[in-house]
Amino acid sequence: MTLAVGEAATSLPVIEDRHHDHRKYPHGVAFMDGQYLPMSEAKVSVLDWGFLHSDATYDTVHVWDGRFFRLNLHLDRFFKGMEKLRMKLPYSRDEIEKILSTCVALSGHKSAYVEMICTRGGSPTFSRDPRQAENRFIAFAVPFGSVANKEQLERGLHIAISDTVRISPRSIDPAIKNYHWLDLVKGLFDAYDAGAETALIVDTNDNIAEGAGFNVFTVKDGILKTPGYSVLPGITRQSVFDLCTELHLSASAGDVNRDQLKAADEVFITSTAGGIMPVTKIDDAVIGNGKVGPVTRQLTDLYWKKHADPAWSTQIAYR
């Protein structure tokens, strides 16, 4: 059953919200092929190159207390990624923003994880030339999820450093948010085998890169550092830079090696899925005094306060 029948894919569908009872969509709402659908009905063709070749880009923005957080930065990154991949959609930026907020409003969720995806699609004539493909837009809003659970947020995560190398930026531009995750997933299995909860993997020079859906920061003598090479420039990472400016803390991007990571006073990871999350153990090394540190706490508090600030967030019109 669809929530609304779409018009032609080039124009926004008329939204016919027949189900004012939002509790009907606890698993969220998706938009694809001009229609809003319950999550369970949003299905992609197995012939889509997004599925067959990971030929896709995407972005994820979150909603907290009924407000998008830094939506403009996520839309900027999404559109830049599509441009670099030479993908085109029949929707304008304003229309995509409207689709995303409609997914959230129809779902009824006040905190949500909202994904926008552009896949290469496929060619109607089965041509192997990517220029002939009809690109496809998919969006969905599902309940908010976090990399770290409540207990891990209180005591800090235990991370293992895997020897797995993140795909080279010469192969895939990491600024294009992508689904090339086989290295990250291998890192996770390495970490589980080592008894840790999640993983960081390394770049081609054996410096620390990033983890499965997150960036990492160190704090040493009050100065913050995050890897600058072979990482997705995360929006939460950018938020940390912005918060540091406000708090008069020094923060920069550059090489971080394994020893520097383990010798830090504090370590935390950053992701749209959970925000700023503390790390208190890396391999066998206890970080600082083994407790969540004061800089991590200060940044986390300010990060969550910004969720109500109109300069950082946008109200969603629930109907």
Minimum gap (Å) between residue 60 Cβ and ligand PLP: 6
Examine residue 270 and tell whether it contacts ligand PLP (CB under 6 A): yes
Examine residue 203 and tell whether it contacts ligand PLP (CB under 6 A): no
Residues 141 to 180: which contact ligand PLP by CB under 6 A?
A: none
- DSSP letter, residue 287: P
Site string for ligand PLP, 129-148 (x = CB under 6 A): --------------------
- Pull the structure tokens for residue 75: 């839309």
Minimum gap (Å) between residue 69 Cβ and ligand PLP: 10
Whether residue 180 contacts residue 196, with contact meaning beta carbons closer than 8 Å, is answered with no
Residues 272 to 311: which contact ligand PLP by CB under 6 A?
A: 272
Considering only 231-239, 280-288, 291-299, 310-318, which stretch makes contact with ligand PLP by CB under 6 A? 231-239
* Nearest residue to ligand PLP, by Cβ distance, number only: 234
Burial class (CB in 10 A: 0-12, 13-18, 19+), 146: middle
- DSSP letter, residue 93: H
Examine residue 210 and tell whether it contacts ligand PLP (CB under 6 A): yes
Separation in Å, CA 52 to CA 81, 117, 124, 134, 142: 19, 15, 16, 15, 24
CB nearer ligand PLP, residue 26 or residue 145: 145
What is the distance between the alpha carbons of residues 187 and 185, in angstroms, rounded to a whole number? 5
Its sign, for the CA torsion 225, 229, 233, 234, is: negative
Examine residue 96 and tell whether it contacts ligand PLP (CB under 6 A): no
Considering only 145-153, 207-215, 252-260, 294-302, which stretch makes contact with ligand PLP by CB under 6 A? 207-215
Whether residue 182 contacts residue 294, with contact meaning beta carbons closer than 8 Å, is answered with no
**Binding residues for ligand PLP, per CB under 6 A?**
60, 210, 213-215, 232, 234-237, 270-272
